[in-house]
Chains A and B, each alone.
Chain A
Amino acid sequence: MKLTDLSIQVRQRSHWEAIDLGFSLVQQHWRALIIPYTLLVILIAIPVWLILPEAYLWVASLIIWWLKPLYDRLLLHSLSRQLFNQTTTTAEAFSALPQLIRHTGLWSALSYRRFSFSRSYNLAIWQLEGLSGQARRKRQELIYLQGHSNAVWLTIACVHLEWIVLFSLYMLILIFDPSGATWEHIKSLFRGELEMDTQYWRSLLDFVFLILTILAIEPFYVAAGFMLYINRRTQLEAWDLEIAFRNLGERLAGLTKVNHSGLASLLIILVTSGLILSLTPPVNAQTLTKTEAHEVLAAERLPAEQATAKINEVMQLEELNSRRKISTWIPKDKTAKQEEENQLPEGLIQLVASIFKTLLWIGAFLAFILALIYRQKIFALLSPLRQPTKRAPAPEVLFGLDLRPESLPEDIAGTARRLWEAGQAREALSLLYRGALVILTHQEQLAIHTSHTEGDILKLAKSATAPERYAYLRTLTQLWQRIAYAHRIPETRELLPLFEGWPAFQTPRVELASSEVAP
């Protein structure tokens, strides 16, 4: 496989672009693809049609549909060679068929993998990479990391396209069938009432239409899946970079050759031009006009004066100077005449314009003075615009604790103290700590996440709260950690300052129902 032989431009594409490229590939190489593919389908369809009894023609349709993975392999065989600019003849394609049947996982594709939604995407792993077992699974996992969902959607889209083509063919017959028999047949398909005398011909029609549909859509499906795969490999193996480096290497190698072979000529040119320059009088660059500078660069161009004369001379030729008088009817322009009649004197217009201009300047000056005087009010009005991003609302539930202000008792410190006195030390401290978190999240707008530990919250609070408040929170956190993680109940003398200090901790801002807090 030589990447430089690729017939497509290799670059990072989106998955949808890659699918589009697959469709283009079929359009580009349809002649090479369609003959072996059609031949294969027909060679299978005719014996199936002949062998099966008349009443079981629908089984033939099923077989033809079921064998799609086989056609896919032949299509991919041709496509993969077309991709590297190798044309495959029909004979070559058919001679590769036994190999394709044996070594590309066809049996699994025709049995338990028949309904795979990413058949066209993973086909290249089976067929071109020749992998199987664990290696194939690993490779497939890697390839599937990206583009798999697109492959699934490609399958779904192609199934729909097949139905569209199938019904279009029915519609075509419907248009050209004056007897209405086709319409009856379509209706009977849905009603399940088939007439025995015409059933065979109608089933044959279904069979032919199915073959035509598969012939029309399957190459696009396989090519699109293949291009998705190629795009994924380009991403994984940086084919685009490799090609770029190869081209760069070739270019540089070519340059080196030219440099070596042309070194002598270059020296000769340099010496000769140096001699010529030394013999000609020096020209001051500033004395050269732009035209003259160009003339120095392009010897075949005429000087400006001569060029004008030459152009005039050319324009005198009859072919370029034929002037004709053409008469035609045009509508009368009445409005122009009226405008002429209503035209104001020029002096009056100038006067009005000057007055307006002066008024405008005076207005602008007054606006500036007023803006200067009322700048505070203007800034106040603009302040909402300066804070376009509102802070996220405080969380209601955090790490399992209900942090809604309404979930807390009105008197947090009082309730905690009662809990403490009732011997529920843990609940008392939990309530205080929860209350503190509510204040931090609602008042101080601290962004506390579930991953934040008590220490992290302290660090956040240190920069956001007043030192007294931070000191209170630190003590509360330490006691909380001790009861939570060491299961050690603090002394009453340690807790009392917390109960007493709670109102001060809570009051710096009065948004949280400060009036309801017990003194």
Chain B
Amino acid sequence: MNATVPTPRLSLEQASRLAEQIHTEIAKALIGQHAVIRETLIALLAGGHVLIEGVPGLGKTLLVRALAKTIAGQFARIQFTPDLMPADISGHVLFDMHNQRFDVRKGPVFTHLLLADEINRAPAKTQSALLEVMQEQQVTIEGLAYPVPLPFMTLATQNPLEQEGTYPLPEAQLDRFLLKIYIGYPSLEEEIAMINAVTNQQIGDRFQLDQLQAVVTPEAVSAMQQVTAQIAVDQAVVEYAARITQATRQGQGLRFGAGPRGSIALIRAARAQALLEGRDFVHPDDIKQIALPVLRHRVSLAPEMELEGYNTDHVLKAVLEKTEAPRQ
């Protein structure tokens, strides 16, 4: 593949084509899981962060590594454990005896792609260390703000099975994630293709990312984000997004609904969705298609619904079925 040298200013077609190339490259490593790759790209283009939930061994780390390789960006991984401290994430100041001065040691958050692996294994204090960097894209160490390199994206993972000894993410933290992505088991054909890819003349079970090429630079990703932000959104579509979010607050089966950040996230994600389809405007289908990953972590299921075996997706689908679509 010819690695195009992206220019800081991109047209919609160029941005869309680059996004497609990124998708194709990641799909070489993460076999199947097209929806997961697509939703991760949506978050990247919208400048958001993702929370990925899935059982171990489905390729969550591989997804992040492949994405970092494809965008030629820096990648850091933090394994969240109960004894992890906030300074282990953000960084700290040390006194340098030799030079007789304080040196700032930046933490692993100073990267393009940050993988917060099993984020719910660390207590809320440590989880909250990510709040500032996710929202403001800067880290304050000893009163001084240090910006992180852009584009910055946090990909946090959590395991839905082992809930013992975990700390559920607080609502304020959850709200910071643009999307919550479910990663499921691959189909039989996909799994066979994966086995062949991983075990072909190779030691260990780690997927070699050498065959992946960097198709864009971090600067190009920033330019793609700018193109995404300029995609037109009609007022009727904005009202539709707000109506859906409002409906989650009034709908039965939910303990509480999504806040205004949910409406904003819907529009941001819908713009990225439109860009992936090569469109320069958003229509209501974009909102509807992206509504579940955007809203599922911003609402809380009522206990009685949980007891009856429903999940947030069931209730959100019902909300979407009841919310009037815009008509011009």
Which residues of A come within 8 Å of B, CB atoms? 399-401, 426, 430, 449-456, 481-482, 484-488
Contacts and interface: CB of A to CB of B under 8 A. Distances in A.
Nearest to A434: B327
A399 B324 contact: yes
Contacts of A430: 328
Given A399-B327, A430-B328, A453-B288, A485 B282 contact: yes
A481 B325 contact: no
B284 interface: yes
Interface in B240-299: 279-285, 288-289
A396 B232 CA distance: 32
Interface residues on B, range: 20 to 34
Contact of A485 (B234, B322, B323): B234
Given A482-B281, A485-B282, A486-B281, A453 B234 contact: no
Contacts of A400: 327
Contacts of B283: 453-455, 481, 484-485
Nearest to A459: B285
A24 B234 CA distance: 65
B284 A451 contact: no
B325 A485 contact: no
B305 interface: no
Interface of B: 232, 234, 236-237, 279-285, 288-289, 320-328
Q: Among the interface residues B234, B236, B284, B327, which one has the most CB atoms of the partner chain A within 10 A?
A: B327
A481 B327 CA distance: 10
A486 B278 CA distance: 13
Contacts of A452: 325
- What 3 pairs between A and B have smallest CB-CB spacing? A486-B281, A455-B285, A484-B328
A451 B236 CA distance: 14
B288 A456 contact: yes
Given A485-B234, A485-B236, A487-B234, A451 B285 contact: no
B232 A450 contact: no
A399 B327 CA distance: 6
Contact of A453 (B279, B322, B325, B328): B325
Contact of A451 (B237, B279, B325): B325
A453 B325 CA distance: 6
A452 B284 CA distance: 10
Contacts of B282: 485
Nearest to A481: B283
Contacts of A451: 320-325
Contact of A399 (B281, B285, B289, B325): B325
Nearest to B320: A451
A478 to B, nearest CB: 10
A180 B283 CA distance: 84
Contacts of A399: 324-327
A454 B284 contact: yes
B234 A486 contact: yes
B64 to A, nearest CB: 31
A485 B327 CA distance: 10
Nearest to B289: A455
A435 to B, nearest CB: 15
B328 A450 contact: no
Nearest to A450: B324
Given A401-B327, A451-B320, 9 more contacts: A399-B324, A400-B327, A426-B328, A451-B324, A453-B283, A453-B284, A456-B325, A485-B282, A486-B232
25 contacts: A399-B324, A399-B325, A400-B327, A401-B327, A426-B328, A430-B328, A450-B325, A451-B320, A451-B322, A453-B283, A454-B325, A455-B284, A455-B288, A456-B288, A456-B325, A481-B281, A484-B234, A484-B283, A484-B328, A485-B232, A485-B281, A486-B234, A486-B279, A486-B280, A487-B232
A487 to B, nearest CB: 7
B248 to A, nearest CB: 14
A449 B327 contact: no
Contacts of A455: 283-285, 288-289
A205 B236 CA distance: 72
B232 A453 contact: no
Contacts of B284: 453-455, 485
Contacts of A486: 232, 234, 279-281
Q: Among the interface residues A430, A456, A482, A485, which one has the most CB atoms of the partner chain B within 10 A?
A: A485
A450 B326 CA distance: 9
A426 B234 CA distance: 15
Contacts of A450: 324-325
Contacts of B236: 484-485
A482 B324 CA distance: 20
Nearest to B234: A485
Contacts of B326: 399
A426 B283 CA distance: 16
Nearest to A429: B328
A462 to B, nearest CB: 14
Contacts of B328: 426, 430, 484-485
A399 B240 CA distance: 13
A479 to B, nearest CB: 12
A451 B327 CA distance: 10
A449 B281 contact: no
A449 B321 contact: yes
A485 B239 CA distance: 12
